[in-house]
Structure 1
Amino acid sequence: MTDDATTTVSVPQPKPQPKGMTIHHRRYALTMLFLIYMLNFVDRQIVNILAEPIKRELGLMDWQLGSLTGLSFAIFYATLALPIARWAERANRVRIVALSAITWSLFTAVCGVAQNFTQLFLARVGVGVGEAGCTPASQSLISDYTTREKRASALAFFSMGIPAGSLVGMVVGGLIADSLGWRASFALVGVPGIALGLLAYFTLPEPRTSSVAASGAQSTPSLREALSELGGKRTYIWLTVAMVAMSFGIYSNLAFQSSHFLRNHAEGLGVLAARLHDLTGIQLGPTGFLGTVLGLIVGICGAAGTWLGGRATDRAVARGSLNAYATIPAAAALCLPFALFATYLTSNTVAALCLMGLPMLLQSIYYGPIFAAVQSLVRPRTRATATAIFLFFANLIGLGLGPLSVGLISDVLARSMGSGDGIRWALISTSLVYVLAAMAFMAARKTIRRDIVS
């Protein structure tokens, strides 16, 4: 057998829907998991819009801001995801997701009482600890709720929690920060996650029956067997490389795009906020205005890109084109550097905000295809582990080092360019990582048809 993409092999038929679950149960479950994932990103990303107020009050450098948005969160998020995922292969996944939501929400509220960098860093570590249990268990559940033909769309719907959470985090965080301060923003956004976690614990369906769960504990592959299965999949390895590169670029961009606008377009934002007040009577400060606008851009364009990627991939897979899991995100990744260059190099505030919509759309296209591919590359009882290992590298390298790298580059460039141009060129230089992502996706394309098993 060759690695040629045109090689004809038999692909196992998708398994039937879980017994005892009606279409209404599945819709409720998918909606609940979407809302939990949305709050996951509200609590994860809210620090981005609050970065400048936090920096001023606590006297931080850009590298410290980068560590708060990336490294502090990623260290424990990445390392705990695997043992929690192994637990999820055997235990009740609903309870894992619910308890995770309650934990990260409590630590988000704690961020609001931090008095220095160390305390805030440790509180963000707590957020990462809580969120470590969400994604692997949730994606494993979704794969049990749906058939392979609808898996990319279902996981794309789940992944729409990323732009939706970023929207809510930026808008709500910015508005609360304008009126009550950044500390109140952390405290107030933590409350809904606690309530939703409790609701999920008592109402979310777990497809595994008690008898299936009991027998499954004996049939679940050991960690060594799971690693052996994953290590033999060249597609999985290349998709992991692609995910790391995409995460590095996306989290770097999200962490500092607000800082870029507040430093390079402060005057333009003030003018736009004044015009908004004249037209509507709504009074917003720069942070509240920018949070609202960027939140809408990230939310709307990100949701559109996520939906588009999932729907296009499902249609292509239904026609037998399994390569779409890789080619669709590869095309989007290749276009991203050019879209970001145009956005960050323009001096016109309105043009820059409008141009930001295109990279937000493009960077969201890959969510549905890549997660659906990973879930399809392994047996059902290895899915949570596959996702956890996949996200271990993506978060430790992409999330942990991406924002930190931008912060370090910005601090160095600021010595000669000033803080505005320093952050601009730090963001532009790191956007070239998307080319590596596109190359990795195309490498995965060569073997994906052979490697898909479920």
Structure 2
Amino acid sequence: MITTDADIEEPPKAPRSFAWVVFALTFGLLLSDYMSRQVLNAVFPALKAEWDLSDTQLGSLNSVVALLVGVLTFPLSVLADRWGRARSIMWMAGVWSLATAACALADSYGQLFVARFFVGVGEAAYGSVGIALILSVFPAQWRASLTGAFTASGALGAVLGMALGGMIAARFGWRWAFGAMAVFGLALVTVYGVVVTERRLAAARVERTGSARSGGRSLRGLFAELFPSMAVCCAYVGSGLQLFTMAALMAWLPSYVHRYYGLPGDQAALVAAVFALLGAVGMAGCGVVTDRLSGACATRRWTFALAFSALSSVLILLGFRLPAGTAQLVSLGAGMLLVAGTTGPAGAMVADLTNPAIHAAAFATLTLANNLLGLAPGPFITGVLADRIGLLGALRTIPVVALAAALAFALGRRSTARGLQGPPARQVPTTA
């Protein structure tokens, strides 16, 4: 079933200014989320040198967060729908910030792994609950733009986490890098708790249901609404597969630049941060382009997602085939600009094809796919391959996964087009 804007929304009940305050603070917390998550990548060289860790171990410290996000995002998002999204966000941010502080105190790989485990627990449902909260106070025609911009804050947070983390680690040591991210998160969640409340959100929602809660649904009924068509399943799978390449590059570009360009750890982190920034710009920009050029045509979002997947794969494959130098960096930069461009279109597809009352659960399902298919295996599998065929060989292999994402989006586009055409007309037999 494909819903229309008229079926979903009513005019806003509160001043639009509050909606933008909600967006800004929720955006800021996602910055903190990814700064806490990606600061690890900036200190990979320091951890490898101090504790003599393998690339597989380094990759596991990154992937355990994404794995926990994938496993816990759905149940925690359903609980957030019932308990209150703003209240849940405060608890999530508090947990990941305290766990990041624990990373700064770790004395071994095992202790750091446990601390990263709890970073994943805290961050598990934030993306899905945060975007559902944002979409509930904005009109439907902004969905791809808002989803792309909100998700871009994750890439921007990765940029800040790697750049600031690298600089702080170079000057004060890697422990201080984790500590700085923890302080930022705790300060921001305090402001969020004061400004964004359930009462204010209730007055600002534009959803037809008048509520973000889905407590009246049975689990079986909820699953039926989460997977109403083949097109939705293709959106989930395509989005997840596409982020495999994004996650691998975000995790390993600092190490790649350090090893193959001979830069020290802090400078390598800064170079990698520039590429992450391109990814953030691409997330937001591709979402805006998709909204502007798609109009009311339901299949165009699929076309844009397919194009972003295919082009990013080609550009990144080409980049790692070129020798280290300017041409390689330009090709990789162009690929990074598009590699996460599917985020906005995919989020808009899921929002279009599911009931607004279950949007937190729907985005949790999208987050689950993103993490289990992309964000969790990407860094880990790249690390495993790097231990066997070298980091360059691994990075030459992983962009192929984006071609599988393009195939999923192509299948989703075909399914959507068929759904819009409706069932074939019955042939009425004629009599002689």
**TM norm. shorter chain > 0.5:** yes
The answer to whether the aligner puts 1:121 opposite 2:97 as a matched pair is: no
| Pair 226,76 (structure 1): closer, same or farther in 2 beyond 3 Å | same
**Distance apart, 1:194 and its partner CA:** 0.7
Whether 1:304 and 2:281 are equivalent positions in the alignment is yes
CA deviations over 1:184-215 (Å, ceiling 9, x no partner): 11111111111111111110254325999998
Q: CA separation of 1:10/1:204 partners in 2, compared to 1, >3 Å: closer, same or farther? A: closer
User: How far apart are the structure 2 equivalents of 1:322 and 1:226?
Assistant: 24
* 1:208 counterpart = 2:202: yes
- Aligned counterparts of 1:449 and 1:180: Cα–Cα separation in 2: 56
Distance, in Å, in 2 between the alignment partners of 1:349 and 1:210 is 51
Structure 1 distance, partners of 2:280, 2:384, is 31
Give, in whole Å, the separation in 2 of the partners of 1:344 and 1:217: 47
- Answering whether residue 240 of structure 2 is matched by residue 244 of structure 1, we say yes
Alignment deviations for residues 40-73 of structure 1 (CA, whole Å, 9 cap, x no partner) = 1111111112112111111111111111111x11
Shift of 1:450: 7.3
Q: How does 1:26-425 map to 2 (within 5 A)?
A: 26-70=19-63, 72-206=64-198, 207-208=201-202, 220-266=216-262, 269=263, 286-299=264-277, 301-318=278-295, 320-413=296-389, 422-425=390-393
**2:212, 2:358 within 8 Å by CA — same for their partners in 1?**
no
Cα distance, 1:316 vs structure 2: 3.0
Q: 1:177 to 1:263 in 2, by over 3 A?
A: same
Residue-by-residue CA offset, 1:140-167 (whole Å, 9 max, x unaligned): 1112111111111112221120221111
Say which SS state the counterpart of residue 322 (structure 1) adopts: coil
Which letter does structure 1 place at the counterpart of 2:70?
A
Identity of aligned residues (%): 29
Asked if structure 2 preserves the Cα contact closer than 8 Å seen for 1:309 and 1:329, the reply is no
**In the TM superposition, what is the alpha-carbon distance from 1:311 to its structure 2 partner?**
1.2
Paired residue type of 2:297: S
Change (3 A) 1:10 1:151: closer
The alpha-carbon deviation at position 371 of structure 1 amounts to: 1.0
Counterpart of 1:115 in 2: which secondary structure? coil
- TM-score (structure 2 length as normaliser): 0.90
Which of 434, 441, 450 is the aligned partner of 2:402?
434
Q: CA shift at 1:26, angstroms? A: 1.0
Deviations 1:419-453, CA, capped at 9 Å, x for gaps:
xxx1001111111000000010111112336779x
The CA RMSD over aligned residues, in Å, is 2.4
Aligned partner of 1:416 in structure 2 is none
C-alpha deviations, 1:243-269, integer Å up to 9, x for none?
Answer: 221122211121111111111111xx3
Amino acid of the structure 1 residue aligned with 2:365? I
Q: Which runs of 5+ in 1 are unaligned?
A: 2-8, 270-285, 414-421
Report the Cα offset of residue 348 of structure 1.
Answer: 3.4
Q: Distance in 2 between matches of 1:356 and 1:204?
A: 39
Deviation track 1:112-133 (CA, whole Å, cap 9, x = no partner) reads 1212111111111110000013
Tell me which amino acid in the other structure corresponds to 2:158.
S
2-side partners of 1:362 and 1:169: how far apart? 21
Residue 353 to residue 443, structure 1, CA distance change in 2 (3 Å): same
Q: Secondary structure at the match of 1:328?
A: helix
Residue 108 of structure 1 contacts residue 190 of structure 1 at CA under 8 Å; is this kept in 2? yes
2:340 partner amino acid: S
Mapped partners of 2:270, 2:110: distance in 1: 29
Distance in 2 of aligned mates of 1:215 and 1:426: 47
Q: Secondary structure, in 3 states, of the residue corresponding to 1:404?
A: helix
TM-score by length of 1: 0.86
Residues 261 and 10 from structure 1, CA distance in 2 versus in 1: closer, same or farther, beyond 3 angstroms?
closer
Quick check: 2:93–2:123 contact (8 Å CA) kept in 1? yes
- Please, which moves more after superposition, 155-164 or 389-398? 389-398
Whole-Å separation in 2 of the counterparts to 1:292 and 1:317: 36
Deviates more, 1:343-352 or 1:186-195: 343-352
Residues in 1 aligned to 2:27 and 2:212: alpha-carbon distance in whole angstroms = 26
> Which AA in structure 1 matches 2:283?
T
CA deviations on 1:94-116 (whole Å, 9 max, x unpaired) are 11112211210111121112121
Give the drift of 1:84. Answer: 1.4
In the alignment of these two chains, the number of paired residues is 415
- Measured at CA, do residues 451 and 62 of structure 1 come closer, stay the same or move farther in structure 2, by a change above 3 Å? farther
Cα pair distance change 1:450/1:44, threshold 3 Å: farther
